[in-house]
Amino acid sequence: MATLWNKGTSATDRVEEFTVGNDRILDLELAAYDVAGSKAHIRMLESIGLLTSEELSKLDAGLDRIARSIADGSFKLEDDVEDIHSQVEILLTRELGEMGKKIHSGRSRNDQVLVDIKLFLKDRLTGIRDEVKALFDTLQDLSEKYKEVLLPGYTHYQIAMPSSFGLWLGAYAESLVSDVQMLRGAYRVVDCNPLGSAAGYGNSFPLDREMTTRLLGFSRPDYNSIAAQLSRGKSEKCVASAIGCVALTLNKFASDCCMYMSPNFGFIHFPDSLTTGSSIMPHKKNPDVWEMVRGKCNRVLACENEISMLCSNMPHGYHRDYQLLKDILFPCLQLISECISMTDYMLKHMEVNDRILEDPRYAYLFTVEEVNRRTLEGTPFREAYRQVGVEVNEGRFSYSGGDPSTLKASDLGHSHIGSIGNLCNKQIAASMAEAIDWN
């Protein structure tokens, strides 16, 4: 196998298979970023005299050709090539001869991998942010559409107080705001340029690290060369934590939907085409999509812990253990994107039940409303609470504020910030607009 570190000996096939593992497949995700890093690096090498302008021109053109093959899908990692970095250098060397070997001057595969991963993670975080924003917009639209439709609120799985579809859907929209803030925090951790740190100790070439930082679009360099290498694992952990926050929001929403779809609740409905049936029970409409969202999000939530366990107990510097980070994080990035997209798709086909409160099981949903009404009329709160409690126990409670089956959210007089009568969707939208502004 062709390797950048080959010194005249080769590993056995068994050792290569064990140490390389799934890395060659995952490396294809990094191909475009490896070329981008190399293009910035050779421009910097020319600026400090390690390449001539003619060499720069030829290498740059060669890298552009590789980039086009990556974009059109024709680029491949050859069977006897260890990784993406080796493949790019081999292709340049085949085309340009010894000149192709010069692109590795002043860098190690360690900082090369770090650059690729950080550029990749920046793009994925930005993409996930945009997907979250699309879901946020859908939730807000539905919150406004159904803001008057009352929905029983539950605590401890017991009927509690009046809620509304507007409040429920708007809650998950606002939860996504804090999730985007976490994504932004992870982006800032990742947005530091490690190129030039080499294997963690720099080197004796007069590298212009500020130049490559500008060319690659990083906000600043990782200044300390050892700190740059210490970011391996920490960057992935921060990203895993951020997407884990999104996963937790989607997980809870999916659980709500599973429960609300149940005939015992019957709060929401989806077309038959978006549910599944039973092989034995012809009446079943199973919430398989929501159960898969919930399950996949649990896998995403486990990602941060797995990364933490992998990266602990190692001194500073590179260790081959880090190679496994891609195996852990990359699939989870794909999973969270799929879950966000599917949640958005399902929501756009959701129907709500606007006659829920016709069911007599919700007769006690308005006990707190009744206590508050009597308190506002002058009865001390504890006395009003006792009165209503006695009426409930004796089976003669009746809400005096109107027929529950005909009430709308605005009939209940909830006016404070964040209540069913004052959803604050505009303010939440403003918070999201601020959160997604990473520039």
- The span from the CA of 129 to the CA of 109, in Å, is 30
Options 219, 262, 278, 398, the catalytic residue: 278
- Residues 186, 239 contacting (CB under 8 angstroms): yes
Reported in sequence order, the residue ranges of 211-293 that DSSP labels E, i.e. its strands, are 220-221, 268-269
| HEC letters along 240-259 | HHHHHHHHHHHHHHHHHHHH
CA-based nearest residue to 296, from 259, 331, 257, 269: 331
Q: C-alpha 184: how far from its chain's center?
A: 11
- Plot region of 418 (φ>0 → left; ψ -120 to 50 → alpha; else → beta): left
Supply 5's token pair: 């570190």
| Set 53, 156, 400, 416: catalytic member | 156
In this structure, are residues 33 and 218 in contact, taking their beta carbons and an 8 Å threshold?
A: no
Q: How many CB atoms lie within 10 A of CB 144?
A: 15
How many other CB atoms sit within 10 Å of the CB of residue 439?
Answer: 3
Cα(390)–Cα(332) distance, rounded to whole angstroms? 53
Query: What SS3 class is residue 148?
Result: coil
The question of whether 278 is a catalytic residue gets the answer: yes
Q: CA 361, CA 13: separation in Å to the nearest integer?
A: 68
Task: Report how far residue 94's alpha carbon sits from residue 110's, in angstroms, rounded to the nearest whole number.
Answer: 24
Handedness of CA 179, 181, 185, 188 (dihedral sign): positive
CA-angle at 57, arms to 210 and 46, nearest 5° = 35
Active site residue 57: no
At 45, which helix (H) or strand (E)?
helix 31-47
Print burial letters for 282-296: b (CB count within 10 Å at least 16), e (below 16).
eeebebebbeebbeb
Helix (H, G, I), strand (E, B) or coil at 345: helix
Q: Where are the alpha helices (DSSP H) in 48-102?
A: 53-72, 84-96
Catalytic residues: 156, 278
